[in-house]
Amino acid sequence: MFPSRSYQRWVERNSSTAEELIQQRAWADFNSDKLLISIVCPLYKTPVEILKETIQSVSKQSYPFWELCLTLSDDESSELRELVLQFASEDQRIRVISIEENRGISESTNAALAEVQGTWVGFLDHDDLLTPDALYAVAKQISDDPECDLVYSDEDLISSNSRFRRSPMLKPSWSPEMIVHFNYICHFVVVRRQLLKKIGGLRSEVDGAQDWDLLLRISEQTQRIRHIPKILYHWRELSTSTAAQLNAKPYVVEAQKRVLQDHFLRRGLTVDVGILRNGHCHPHWTIVDKPLVSVIIPNRDQPKLIQQVVKGIFESTDYRNVEILIVDNQSTHPDVLAYYATIQQDYRVKVLDYSKPFNYSAACNLGAKSA
């Protein structure tokens, strides 16, 4: 993993300074809301040194009103258990949720969700890191927009030894269209607890794509989803992580396909879900009733261009229910007039006369009236 020097400079310019972290703490102390953010973090054979960094990234938050709920199964190593219990004994905000056995990431996460006390819940993988200002940024967003139901941030990758950062994922605002193609949100996600309770938490039958499934089910309940345009999360790049490569976990591909199929089924939509060469899912939408599509083309004395455009529509598209409305603005070129006489023999083509001085918008409006 080789970091980009330009990205490292960008990181330095865009990270909170020590003074800013102090100001964030002061804002939290004087803010009347003081909302409690619960961070759920299921553990599974986590390397001790990496988990230590993960927990410390929460402990060092400039926003102090949080709790960290760590799900710990009885079959974890004694070394891991000792570390977790030590952190919990030193900070009452760190809570250990004990379970008899690990039944997968969704069940472990749900065990923590059942115990959280905060009104908002964030999701943290056991080997990843939060930036020191992550919870402040979330709390500030919620304070400024109290009607929102979900908040997500930008993220980047961090090396296994935590020395290097690369590949920033700077995301757009909430997009219902994009989310059905791939999980562009990923981390960091914080959700209103009541909403999580309403949808029943995570589904264990789609482990491997449970995060995407959760987002899709949330999107079926609310569109009050907000983006914080700031990197608040470092995704650990390990050989077995989806941060490294999708093929590291082949079962993820099938889980993603089911997640998307279930989403469309719940919405009552007929969509075929395929899998691309890179392993990502691709929805193929079924066009219901095949409505007529009207293509409006303003033209004046451009014989080659109009022929090229019309030919392209008829020969390069596989949708057949199309009509072409050519809005002619006083053409006199003989080749244009001859083409009009020929092409109008096709029932799908009409030539409309526009005799006023050229105005693109007015010409298109005339075509729209005849569509």
Q: Which of 217, 245, 273 is the last residue of a domain?
A: 245
Domain that holds residue 177: 5-245
Q: Which of 245, 266, 301 is the last residue of a domain?
A: 245
293: burial class by Cβ within 10 Å (0-12, 13-18, 19+)? middle
**Structural domains in the chain (count):** 2
Whether residue 254 is contained in a domain is answered as no
Alpha carbon distances (Å) from 45 to 55, 79, 86, 97, 107: 15, 10, 17, 16, 16
Overall residue count recorded for the chain in this entry = 371
Q: How far apart are CA 207 and CA 216, in angstroms?
A: 14
Q: Do 156 and 69 have their domain in common?
A: yes
Q: Reduce the DSSP state of residue 83 to 3 states and report it.
A: helix
Q: Do 108 and 216 have their domain in common?
A: yes
Q: Reduce the DSSP state of residue 47 to 3 states and report it.
A: coil
Whether residue 148 is contained in a domain is answered as yes
pLDDT in tens, the chain (371 residues): 455 788 989 999 999 999 999 999 999 999 878 899 999 999 999 999 999 999 999 999 999 999 999 999 998 999 999 999 999 999 999 999 999 988 899 999 999 999 999 999 999 999 999 999 999 999 999 999 999 999 999 999 998 888 888 999 999 999 999 999 999 999 999 999 999 999 999 999 999 999 999 999 999 999 999 999 999 999 998 755 554 454 546 788 899 999 999 999 999 998 999 988 888 889 998 887 889 999 999 999 999 999 999 999 999 888 889 999 999 999 999 999 999 999 999 999 999 999 999 899 999 999 999 99
Whether residue 285 is contained in a domain is answered as no
pTM of the model: 0.82
Instruction: Look up residue 216 and give its two tokens.
Output: 């899709």
Indicate which CATH number applies to the domain containing 310.
Answer: 3.40.50.2000
